[in-house]
């Protein structure tokens, strides 16, 4: 494999590492034992969206790319669905192990296989239905140890994967808009949505006023790592085979498991490991056999 053919996979792996750091920063911000003061997920999600908007807007201006304000319905589908996915993901990220959240949210290709029937007129095959069934069983196995206190977090991660699938379908339909302009539009819409849910955070004013340097540094880490991850992901998908890049993206779960063990000293039970495999294996299968355009 020559250098140009290898680079998209390197960018995707780098993006996965960056998103893994973002997830660990988020988990730290959401737990008292980690930093001395816990932040509600609404606050973390807002800063994540707002900082990425600022950074991506600056990049667009630097490269003389004009931001898109109105755009097409497909652009709005991508931005709104992606923003909803972000909100639900960040709730789950502050409640569950990063590896479990990323496993469930990365099952979005299974949703794409189902949604492509009504939205793209592409009927799922028998193998697609089998993959979906395996994924559902996998989610059930992951959820079982956490059902007593975190069933809402699992449900939130599932909903996030659904909205990610909608965002991917919307991205598939976007034509003639520079990638960086799409990122700016998405992060701008995400900032607006997160601003709407921000007042629902308990004692939001007091919490923000009490932020110390360590918390601000972690929030900055969330924004920087998310921006880096988004740009590496964009580079990967714009220059490599989308289906193969998507499969490489599943390596994020591996990085998350390593992060759980190194940073939080958490291990997975056998039931959770089986559940992860039942999600990742059929997801990878759906990615490899799908129409490449369904994984933009």
- The 10s digit of each residue's pLDDT in 217-255 is 888 999 999 888 887 877 776 666 655 666 677 777 778
Q: What is the pTM of this model?
A: 0.78
Q: How high does pLDDT run on average in the chain?
A: 78
Give the integer Cα–Cα distance in Å for 82 and 226: 14
Give the integer Cα–Cα distance in Å for 239 and 180: 14
Give the helix, strand, coil percentages of the chain, each rounded to 5: 80, 0, 20
Tell me the average pLDDT across 198-217.
74
* Per-residue pLDDT at 291 exceeds 60: no
* Per-residue pLDDT at 107 exceeds 60: yes
Tell me the average pLDDT across 44-64.
90
Given pLDDT bands bounded at 50, 70 and 90, which one contains residue 108?
Answer: confident
Q: Which residue has the higher pLDDT, 167 or 113?
A: 167
Residues 6+ apart with CB under 8 A from 111: 161, 162, 164, 165, 166
In the prediction, which pLDDT does 188 show?
Answer: 93
């Amino acid at each position: 494999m020559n250098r140009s053919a290898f680079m998209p996979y390197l960018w995707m792996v780098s993006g996965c590492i960056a998103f893994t750091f973002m997830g660990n920063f988020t988990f730290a911000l959401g737990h008292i034992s980690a930093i001395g003061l816990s932040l509600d997920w609404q606050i973390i999600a807002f800063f994540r969206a707002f900082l990425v908007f600022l950074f991506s807007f600056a990049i667009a201006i630097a490269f003389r790319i004009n931001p898109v304000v109105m755009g097409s319905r497909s652009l709005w589908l991508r931005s709104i669905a992606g923003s909803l996915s972000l909100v639900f993901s960040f709730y789950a990220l502050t409640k569950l192990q990063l590896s479990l959240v990323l496993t469930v949210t990365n099952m979005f290709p299974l949703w794409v296989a189902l949604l492509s029937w009504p939205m793209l007129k592409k009927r799922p095959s028998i193998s697609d239905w089998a993959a979906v069934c395996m994924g559902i069983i996998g989610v059930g196995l992951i959820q079982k140890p956490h059902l007593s206190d975190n069933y809402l977090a699992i449900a939130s991660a599932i909903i996030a994967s659904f909205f990610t699938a909608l965002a991917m379908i919307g991205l598939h339909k976007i034509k003639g808009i520079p990638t960086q302009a799409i990122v700016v539009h998405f992060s701008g819409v995400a900032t607006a949505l997160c601003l709407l849910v921000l007042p629902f955070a308990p004692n939001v004013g007091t919490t923000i006023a009490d932020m110390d340097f360590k918390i601000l540094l972690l929030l900055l880490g969330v924004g920087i790592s998310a921006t880096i991850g988004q740009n590496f992901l964009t580079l990967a998908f714009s220059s490599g085979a989308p289906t193969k890049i998507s499969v490489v993206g599943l390596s994020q779960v591996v990085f998350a498991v390593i992060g759980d063990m190194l940073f939080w000293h958490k291990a997975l039970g056998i039931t959770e490991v089986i559940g992860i495999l039942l999600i990742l294996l059929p997801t990878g299968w759906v990615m490899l056999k799908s129409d490449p355009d369904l994984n933009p």
